[in-house]
Structure 1
Amino acid sequence: MTSPSPFRRDGNQRRRSLLGLGLAGLLGSARAQSEERLTVLLEEFAPYSFTDARGQAAGYAVELARELLARARIAGDFEFSSWPRVSRRAQLQANVLLPAIVRLPEREAQFHWVAQIGLRQGWLFRLRSRSDVQPRDLDAAKAYLTAVIKDDVSEHELVTLGFSVGQHLDRSADYDIMLRKFFAGRSQLLALNRVLAPELLRRHGHDPQLIEPLLKFSESRPSMALSLPSSASLAQRLRLAWDGMRRDGTVAALAARYGMPLPD
């Protein structure tokens, strides 16, 4: 019986070594993906995002984000805060996902944009009991004080239209404060997304029938965005996962459940 040649033995060992290295590389890559985490920043803004009866994050944008991260094989930590803090952290920290932020020209270069998740119409509302508040157009609306959320899309849009913070706009840190001030008469107009206004008021303990829309001031695109310090490759993974959700009908099904309009 002839003994195996040294060349064959070395070749087998080399192949086994290369195979081991290849498997180790694949396992290392899979482990790195599974350990990758995103911080998902939210505000109390039903039905996009809110805290449910069990104290868990819920809502249209939350469900979209959970499905997106599952498909991209990325872990997520969901955190609530006020919108000014959410916006600030998203511009400074890597691996931060905003599942619901309106895409504006001035924000274009501040984020990696992942997907458009809906349509939005900004309107000015008044109390039905305030028949004395009768602006005929947006210029006339500047004679009144309009309630807005600090750094929110409505504030940005109204400032672009010539409204001034302090003179025309009354800023609040969150919706609970803003609505309490508005119903107490500290402002005469209220800037809200018309589609979401009824649910928003109900969740904060106010009757939606007490207000009525007066003037439309914008149309815009609620979107999902990744913080700019995050890697471009991570943004692309999320976009690919979103494309799959859109193609298989997951996005449309969630939008229908929450009554959200989608772009054509």
Structure 2
Amino acid sequence: MRLIIHSLIFLLCISLSICTFAKEGIEANLLAVANNNQLLQYYENGENKGPSIEILQAILKEAQLDAKVEFMPWVRAFSIASNKPNTLILSMIKTPERESDFHWLIKVSNLARVFISLENKPENYVDNLQQAKQKLTAVVIGSAGYSELTEQGFSEKKNLYVVSDGELMVTLLENGRVDLVYGDPVNIQNILNKRGETKVAIRYKEIGPENERSSYIAISKATDVAIVNRLQQAARKFEKTAEYTRLLMQ
């Protein structure tokens, strides 16, 4: 009789665990926020595309979770992910200031941050911070790049022109409204290429270790720990696949 009772209790615990697992999946209501970036994640022809989107979809599938993806300016995406539980964010550079404010799930890209000028304006080329401080630089507000520059003494009142996204940075650079942009040269060149500006060449100092960055999919700190654990486990499993390696190299 005691064995039967123990068996029934065990089965009951298993049933409750299964129900709880399913319940978490139903009540998760995950939101994924991102800014439009043609190299990583973007919305086109009614579909979410890009390697970061594919990585997100893979770990969500493995974790048996769903998330609604919304594109918006970076500063709004960051604010929502910082304050709203169950919110994922793509693709965010990990910085010491941000590290403790999010759960970091998986790396989605390697990139760089450099001062970029137009090749046809050699007078604007810089190879150090002091030279850059004498120029007007466009940077995305609320970005890691914005934080880096302001920490180095750059100011909106003096030498920074803050914008909402990378597309506007490039427009200002093309039009001569700013001398420099601070961002990833591959992304800047990609924006120019998509505009058909094949004759517009950019120039920047050779990339060194101090310029290298990594971006991640992260999730808000206030998210239920059970959801975070499931996503982290799914991410660790996906990281071991050839598909992840392929997407990270794109």
Q: TM-score, normalised by structure 1?
A: 0.83
- Following superposition, the deviation at residue 24 of structure 1 comes to 4.5
- Following superposition, the deviation at residue 164 of structure 1 comes to 1.8
What does 1:180-195 correspond to in 2, within 5 Å?
A: 180-195=171-186
Separation of aligned partners in 2, 1:209 and 1:234: 48
What does 1:147-162 correspond to in 2, within 5 Å?
A: 147-162=138-153
Stretch moving more, 184-193 or 15-24: 15-24
- Following superposition, the deviation at residue 37 of structure 1 comes to 2.8
- Following superposition, the deviation at residue 255 of structure 1 comes to 2.3
Match of 1:115 among 106, 111, 119: 106
Match of 2:201 among 199, 211, 214: 211
Closer/same/farther in 2, CA of residues 27 and 115 from structure 1, 3 Å limit: closer
Give the secondary-structure state (helix, strand or coil) at the position aligned to 2:106.
strand
- Following superposition, the deviation at residue 250 of structure 1 comes to 2.5
Separation of aligned partners in 2, 1:236 and 1:22: 20
Runs of 4+ in 1 over 3 A off after TM superposition: 14-24
Closer/same/farther in 2, CA of residues 208 and 126 from structure 1, 3 Å limit: farther
Cα pair 2:166 2:188 within 8 Å, conserved = no
Unaligned runs of 5+ in 2: none
Cα pair 1:104 1:220 within 8 Å, conserved = no
Match of 2:20?
29
- Following superposition, the deviation at residue 138 of structure 1 comes to 1.8
Match of 2:35 among 3, 27, 43: 43
Cα pair 2:110 2:215 within 8 Å, conserved = yes
Match of 1:247?
240
Closer/same/farther in 2, CA of residues 235 and 22 from structure 1, 3 Å limit: closer
Separation of aligned partners in 1, 2:81 and 2:239: 25
Separation of aligned partners in 2, 1:208 and 1:122: 22
Structure of larger gyration radius: 1
> What is the count of residue pairs matched by the alignment?
246
Match of 2:165?
174
**Pairing 1:223–2:213 present:** no
Cα pair 2:35 2:90 within 8 Å, conserved = no
Separation of aligned partners in 1, 2:115 and 2:236: 35
The percent of aligned pairs where both chains have the same amino acid is 20
Unaligned runs of 5+ in 1: 1-7, 259-264
Match of 2:156?
165
Closer/same/farther in 2, CA of residues 96 and 124 from structure 1, 3 Å limit: same
Cα pair 1:181 1:187 within 8 Å, conserved = yes
Q: TM-score, normalised by structure 2?
A: 0.87
**Pairing 1:103–2:94 present:** yes
Separation of aligned partners in 2, 1:208 and 1:227: 40
**Pairing 1:79–2:70 present:** yes
Match of 2:126 among 124, 127, 135: 135
- Following superposition, the deviation at residue 151 of structure 1 comes to 0.8
**Pairing 1:59–2:50 present:** yes
Separation of aligned partners in 2, 1:209 and 1:138: 28
Closer/same/farther in 2, CA of residues 71 and 213 from structure 1, 3 Å limit: same
- Following superposition, the deviation at residue 142 of structure 1 comes to 0.9
Match of 1:88?
79
Separation of aligned partners in 2, 1:59 and 1:166: 36
Separation of aligned partners in 2, 1:96 and 1:208: 38
Separation of aligned partners in 2, 1:101 and 1:88: 12
Cα pair 1:124 1:191 within 8 Å, conserved = yes
RMSD of aligned Cα (Å) = 2.4
Separation of aligned partners in 1, 2:239 and 2:161: 39
Give the secondary-structure state (helix, strand or coil) at the position aligned to 1:254.
helix
